[in-house]
Each structure stands twice: as C-alpha cells, then as structure tokens.
Amino acid sequence: MKVDVAIPRTKFDFLTYFTEENLASGDLIMVPIRNKVKYGIVINKNSQREVAGIKKVQELVEKNFIPDNLLRLYKWMAEYYLASLGEVLRLALPSKILRKYEMVERQVRAPLLAKAPKPNYQQGIAISKISGALQANRYAAFLLYGITGSGKTEVYLRCVEKVLRTDGRALVLVPEISMTPLLFERFEERFHDDVATIHSTLTDKERRRLWYAIKEGKYSVVIGPRSTVFIPIPDLKIIIVDEEHDQSYKEHTRMPHYNARDVAVTRSKLENIVAVLGSATPQIESYHNTEIGKYELLDLKERIDARPLPEIEIIDIRQETKPYISPKMEAQIETTLKNNEQIIIFLNRRGFAPSLICPHCGYTAKCPFCNLPLVYHKSEKKEKSSLSCHICSHQARIRSICPKCGRGTLLYRGAGTQRIEELLNKILREKELTTSKEESLVVRLDRDSVRRKGRLQTILKTFEQGKAKILLGTQLVTKGFDFHDVTLVGIVNADIILHLPDFRSGERTFQVLTQVAGRSGRGKKAGKVLVQTYHPEQYSTIFGQLQDYARFYEQELQVRKELDFPPFTRLILIRLKGEDEENVWGEAKKIYRMLNELGKAEIFGPNRSFYYKIRKDYRVFIIIKVRKDYPHRKLRFLTNYKPTKCSIEIDVDPLDVF
C-alpha cells in the first residue's frame, strides 16, 4: 500500500511512499529522502496519490507513536498558521527522536496527598463549575479571571486533584518555569513526584527521556512552557494555561508562529476535554470570547482573606529635580524599610543608561548595523564596561571623547536598572539604612543579572528570605511572584513600558502596570504603589481602571471596534528580510499584488518594520486583514512561496504588528 508521510524539518506537508507492512497513521517510520534516511510520521494510510519513482518505507520504528487526535492538532496548526506539516513537526517532536530502549524506568503513579487550604466562596464556585465539565467528560473552555492575589493557583490544584482521582492526567502550561517557581512548588507539594516539569535547564537528552516517559503515562501532572502543549499524554482530561495573556506563549522565532494558548484550546476541543485559561489581565481576545459564548467566564473578584488591593499614588516628575527617585519615593522607601517591610522597584530598561551623547555636536552612539542607540552597560572593572545594541547584541567600546567632532566629552543620558541600583545604594548609605558595607540590601533582577545559571534562583531566594530588602528589576519582576512582606511597589518611569507603535500598546501597558502593582500588599499588611510619570493624566485613567478590568475592557474594545482590529477581524503579518534593500521591497510588492488579487481581504503595505534594519537584514512587512470566517486555504500558497534572495515569515494572529 501507499502511505503519506510527514517529515520533520521539511518545507512540505508530506511525501508518498509504498510499503508492504500494515502501517497506520501516527506510526513512526524511517524513510529515504535525498540520499538520507529520516524519521517520518505516517499521516494517511492508503494514499491514492500517484507518484513517479516512488520509494519504499525503510523501517517501522514504533506503532502509534503519535495518537490520532494530536495528528489532527498538528494538521490544524499547519493549516491555521500557514506552515508546512514538516515545520509543525519540527516544533512538536523532540529535537532528536528517542528509541524506546533508551528510556528510564520510573515507578508509575505516586499516591497523592492533599493538605489544601479551604477554598473561599468564589474559588468554590469556579472549582465546582470546572468539575461539572470534567464529570460530563466534554469539551469546555473557561477563562478564570482573578485579580492579582485572588488564589487562582488553588483553583488549578483542586481541579487537577479531581482529575487525578478519576485516573486522568493534567497538563499545565506556564510562561516560563524559572519565572514561576512558586506555582511549581505548590504543585509538587500537592502531588509529589507525580509531577513532570519541563525546565529550560534540562539537557536535550533529559528532555527526550521525559517526553517519552510522559507519553507512556508515567506522570499524572505535566508542567511546562509553550512547547509542552504538543506532548502526547494518555487520558488527558484538563489543560490549564496560567497567565494566558503572557507573550511567551507565542513562538516568535520559528515557523509556525503559533500561540500555545490557542493551540491548547484547540487540542482540548479535539480531545473533548476541559481547558482553563487563567489571568488577572486577560488578553482582550480572550475576554471577548467569554462575551460571544466561546469561553465561560469564572470570576475571582476578591483577594484571599479579603485583603485590599494596594493604594496607588501618581507622582508627576515633570517638576522634580530628582527625576529617577523622587523625594516622595525616597521618603516612602525609608518608611517601608524602617517598618522592616520589603520593596519592589520597577523600571523597564536594563543597562546603566540608554544613550551616550555628545553635548557639543549632538552625536549619539549608535549600532553600526541597526542604527539604533547603543545602551551603556557599566561594569565594576572600567575596561569591561561596554555599549551594547539590545536588538542585535553588537558590542562597542566606550570612548570618552566624541568621535564626530573630537571636542565634546560624551555623557550618558537617562537611566536603566544599573543606574537606579547605584542610586538606591547611595540613598541607603546616606540615610544609614544599610547594615553592612559588603552586603547590599538591593538585588537586581534583569536579563543581565540572571545570565549565569542559577543566578535567578539565588536572587529570588535572597529576597524571599529577607536578606535583601529591595528587589529592583525589569518586566521580570512583574511575573507572578508572591512575596508576602512587600508593601511598596515603585514604578520609576511608567512612560517607557512601551514605546512601540502597536495597536496592543494600551493593553500591554495596562497588563504590565496591573501585574507589577499586584505584587504589593499580598501578605497581612496593606500595600502601596507609587507611579512616577511625565504624563500623570494618562495614568490616572489607567489606574482608575486597574481595580476594574471590565471598565478597561469596554473602553479598549471600543477602540478596537473603531479601528476594525482584533477581536473583530483577524490579522496576518508577512515579513520579508534580506540584505539587498531594493530586492526586499521588490519582492514585497510582488506579494502585495498576489494578495490583492485574492479579494475579500484588506492588504496594507509593504511598510518598513519598526526595526527596519537588524544586523545586515532589511525588514519590510505586509498586513493582511480578514474577517474571522475568511477561508485560510486561500492563503496556503504562501506556505511554499519562496521569494528571491530573501526570507519570508508568516505570522497569523501576530502580537506585534510592526
């Protein structure tokens, strides 16, 4: 018979082979392709395709390697995200396929033990609604909207426990494991070693072994980042997506650019199981889905033990002589430390200073490749300090004299986390709030400070144990941490959360501010949030809404409606990259014309990308806007389309439109 076979890492959907064996879809086989032998997955048996020079399947490796419903999920992904099945398999399967005999043995199923706190009234309602769907053994999708500190995790734990009692299994997706140590700890505390965790620190081999063990049903609970959504799990009953609004669910670098949250919901539908999406700041599209009946809304409107939300104060820094840490912020830091409480300071910019300029001629140090300002990174050893491009990582030496006019002494302007760290330490010394000279009360959490392995855990532990009193950092500090002694959150400059031209920027600002403010007052003592800004009017509205997502949602939805943007339409972004600037534009215009002929879609562009040049590549994009019922297959030709001398990237439901 003839079979259609999908092969990982290829740009096509499948090839057809013949075989004498009785193969079925989902079987793992080895097939010859271009003088090599590769793994492939049978996707159709009894293929009717006529192929000249058909080759023979070389070996059956494993029967039923991928279950049917997952194959259907992979096919859906290829169609929806305009990618080839080969590209989908590259992301869905382990980087190297493991043979069964390489597996580790593991005791199946540890007993579970529940020492759970009693759910409050609202948690109780959420749990019972999800349990109802679990018992009915049917597909259902819930949006668990719970304000920061309202106890979403306990709802997850209870539902997973219900699933385990009926011998089912659970999948929990998290933005990044290292960023959610607490969630993971609580799952382990409840379910012991019956939890498999896909860490970013696992080696490829460990990851493959775990993949296999999970597929064989050796763990009841699987926790992991976005790619975990593809793992076969027998008797899967529930998929939980924590912090569903988080951008790390989107695959940004490789095709297909899927969103694991949406893949999780589709998988639940195909497997007829329950999906729970949780967030304090749901994505507009998700909340909209509760209004049109796609998801059921579960509300947690109260913090645990009826703790109040923090009090928010906005500081107008236009008039301040000290713009980085205003006197008011400084005073509040002092009070908080004297009360022996902790502080989180947030600034969404790493490095010491965002630019180096010449006061004489106005020269700014820029990346020679990307033409964007270089960021000054200070090092304890002066010669190790450098300028770095945050887009392409180019490093440049620091000069003190302006290379353009040769007269001015270069000055750094603005502040990043490093500069604020220095400033905080200075304030603590002046006010005699530090105890020893060696140990700082300030710990910094940004991508530079956690580069070395294990650093992140150390920083979090130091702060958690109270050895450090101030946690200073970028967006990393907005993740779901739960420090009970934090009573002050200071936002150094609310205006630089976003500077990108995007229709989602209002939503993103709201999400970041809500999440960072939500770190305050999670223990017994009430919390405070200080927000420094050059545009106080703007933030008073945002923070007015902060206590009230529904109000924010209504206003934001109105804007989207006027612009005819998602959730009312669907966007598809086509990006072209190449070294020859003229050629990139030429190719983009060609695609624009092809798309225009299709009709029933609005095509915008080609436009320069916000980052027009990264390293050697010029970047140009086109936006396709379609109604939600637009047939995707009309665009499938793009999957195999090869522009000359440049690469093409297709992003369905893009998060960034620039």
Residues that bind Zn ion (CB under 5 A): 358, 360-361, 363, 367, 369-370, 389, 391-392, 394, 402, 404-405, 408
In whole angstroms, how close is the CB of 356 to Zn ion at the nearest point? 11
Cβ–Cβ < 8 Å for 256, 88: yes
Angstrom distance (rounded) from CA 57 to CA 2? 9
630, with CB counted inside 10 A (0-12, 13-18, 19+), is: middle
Nearer to Zn ion, 353 or 389 (CB): 389
Nearer to Zn ion, 269 or 404 (CB): 404
Torsion of CA 317, 322, 325, 331, to 10 degrees: -100
In whole angstroms, how close is the CB of 413 to Zn ion at the nearest point? 14
167, with CB counted inside 10 A (0-12, 13-18, 19+), is: exposed
List C-alpha distances in Å: 372 to 240, 395, 423, 502, 632.
40, 13, 26, 19, 37
Angstrom distance (rounded) from CA 42 to CA 35? 20
Nearer to Zn ion, 307 or 394 (CB): 394
In whole angstroms, how close is the CB of 512 to Zn ion at the nearest point? 25
Nearer to Zn ion, 54 or 411 (CB): 411
Q: How many Cβ atoms from other residues are within 10 Å of residue 587's Cβ?
A: 22
Q: How many Cβ atoms from other residues are within 10 Å of residue 505's Cβ?
A: 14
In whole angstroms, how close is the CB of 45 to Zn ion at the nearest point? 50
**Residues near 46 by Cβ (< 8 Å), separated by ≥ 6?**
1, 2, 3
Nearer to Zn ion, 139 or 363 (CB): 363
Q: Give 281-285 contacts, CB < 8 A, sequence gap 24+.
A: 281/245, 281/510, 281/511, 281/514, 281/515, 281/549, 282/143, 282/145, 282/244, 282/245, 282/549, 283/244, 283/245, 283/507, 284/507, 284/553, 284/556, 284/557, 284/560, 284/566, 284/567, 285/566, 285/567
Cβ–Cβ < 8 Å for 416, 353: yes
In whole angstroms, how close is the CB of 448 to Zn ion at the nearest point? 17
In whole angstroms, how close is the CB of 252 to Zn ion at the nearest point? 18
Task: Fill in the amino acid letter for 640.
Answer: N
Angstrom distance (rounded) from CA 353 to CA 57? 60
Angstrom distance (rounded) from CA 284 to CA 567? 7
Tokens 């040049």, residue located: 613
Nearer to Zn ion, 186 or 360 (CB): 360
Q: Is the peptide bond before 567 cis (omega within 30 degrees of 0)?
A: yes
β-strands 570-578, 647-652 pairing? antiparallel
Cβ–Cβ < 8 Å for 420, 322: no
Nearer to Zn ion, 54 or 361 (CB): 361
- DSSP symbols for 25-82: TT-EEEEEETTEEEEEEEEESS-----TTPEEP-EEEETTSS-HHHHHHHHHHHHHTT
Beta bridge partners of 75: none
Nearer to Zn ion, 252 or 593 (CB): 252
| DSSP H or E run through 356 | strand 355-357
In whole angstroms, how close is the CB of 72 to Zn ion at the nearest point? 42
In whole angstroms, how close is the CB of 614 to Zn ion at the nearest point? 7
Nearer to Zn ion, 403 or 466 (CB): 403
Cβ–Cβ < 8 Å for 148, 300: no
- DSSP symbols for 217-286: T--SEEEESGGGGGS--TTEEEEEETTTT-GGGB--SSSS--BHHHHHHHHHHHHT-EEEEEESS--HHH
Q: In this structure, what token pair is assigned to residue 58?
A: 């070389």
Nearer to Zn ion, 76 or 369 (CB): 369
Nearer to Zn ion, 76 or 363 (CB): 363
Q: CA triplet 367, 369, 374: central angle to 5 degrees?
A: 15
In whole angstroms, how close is the CB of 643 to Zn ion at the nearest point? 24
Nearer to Zn ion, 56 or 399 (CB): 399
Beta bridge partners of 604: 623
β-strands 59-62, 274-279 pairing? unpaired
Closest CA to 389 of 365, 413, 409: 365
